């Protein structure tokens, strides 16, 4: 395979509900139009409001949660933010969990009890122990498949 097309062993992408995003987008556009009509902000203000609306709509469109094992590395991200990249060689072990072990806390990327957590919803996940004592808790729909992809990649690297 070429460098431009990495070999993907596992990939999961979750997006917010499209219906919700459509309503939020229309609401933001309506609020921007109302602000333009009611306040007459001038050319610079109108451009600033339209730029803010464009940025917000871009953020809504590009928002997603991704988990991927490709090119001998694990990538976890809340796009469009930067991904956490872990080389597969640093993975010591993987243990599937049926639920988030710290209760019903906030979703997102957090550090809880010494573990880097990536949580997009309720449900199953995978605890990935790393060299140096660090660990990741990765929310995923198929923790067994993610663990198998990490183990396969690690075996291939070490063999």
pLDDT confidence of residue 51? 93
47 and 94, same domain (yes or no):
no
Question: Is 24 inside a domain boundary?
Answer: yes
Could you tell me the two tokens for 7?
């070999």
Question: Is 97 inside a domain boundary?
Answer: yes
Tell me how many domains the chain contains.
Answer: 2
pLDDT greater than 90 at residue 38: no
Q: Which is more confident, 19 or 7?
A: 19
58 and 96, same domain (yes or no):
no
Categorize the per-residue pLDDT at 157 as very low, low, confident or very high, splitting at 50, 70 and 90. low
pLDDT confidence of residue 1? 44
pLDDT confidence of residue 140? 87
152 and 85, same domain (yes or no):
yes
Contact (CB, 8 A) for 141 and 13: no
pLDDT confidence of residue 30? 93
Q: Per-residue pLDDT tens for 57-66? A: 898 888 888 9
85 and 142, same domain (yes or no):
yes
107 and 147, same domain (yes or no):
yes
**N-term to C-term CA, the chain:** 19
Q: Per-residue pLDDT tens for 66-99? A: 999 988 899 999 888 888 999 998 999 888 887 7
Q: Per-residue pLDDT tens for 100-125? A: 666 666 778 888 777 888 878 777 88
24 and 85, same domain (yes or no):
no
pLDDT confidence of residue 108? 81
**How far is the C-alpha of 130 from the C-alpha of 106, rounded, in Å?**
24
Question: Is 67 inside a domain boundary?
Answer: no
Contact (CB, 8 A) for 20 and 80: no
Question: Is 115 inside a domain boundary?
Answer: yes
115 and 45, same domain (yes or no):
no
Could you tell me the two tokens for 114?
């010494």
Question: Is 73 inside a domain boundary?
Answer: no
Categorize the per-residue pLDDT at 16 as very low, low, confident or very high, splitting at 50, 70 and 90. confident
pLDDT confidence of residue 75? 92
84 and 148, same domain (yes or no):
yes
Question: Is 3 inside a domain boundary?
Answer: no
Name the E strands within the chain: 8-14, 64-70, 73-79, 84-87, 91-97, 108-112, 115-119, 125-130, 135-139
Question: Is 4 inside a domain boundary?
Answer: no
Could you list the residue range(s) of the whole structural domain that residue 113 is in? Answer: 80-158
Question: Is 116 inside a domain boundary?
Answer: yes
């Amino acid at each position: 395979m070429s460098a431009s097309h990495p070999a993907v062993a596992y990939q999961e992408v979750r997006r917010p509900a499209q219906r919700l995003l459509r309503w939020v987008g229309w609401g933001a556009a309506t609020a921007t139009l109302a602000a333009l009509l009611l306040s007459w902000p001038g050319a610079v203000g109108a451009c600033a409001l339209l730029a803010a609306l464009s940025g917000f709509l871009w953020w809504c469109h590009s928002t997603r949660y991704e988990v991927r094992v490709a090119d001998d590395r694990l990538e976890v991200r809340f796009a469009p933010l930067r991904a956490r990249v872990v080389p597969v060689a640093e993975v010591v072990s993987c243990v599937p969990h049926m639920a988030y072990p710290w209760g019903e806390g906030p979703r997102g990327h957090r550090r809880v009890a010494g573990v880097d957590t990536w949580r997009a919803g309720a449900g199953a996940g995978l605890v990935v122990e790393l060299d140096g004592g660090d660990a990741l808790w990765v929310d995923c729909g198929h923790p067994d498949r993610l663990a198998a992809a990490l183990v396969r990649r690690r075996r291939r690297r070490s063999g």
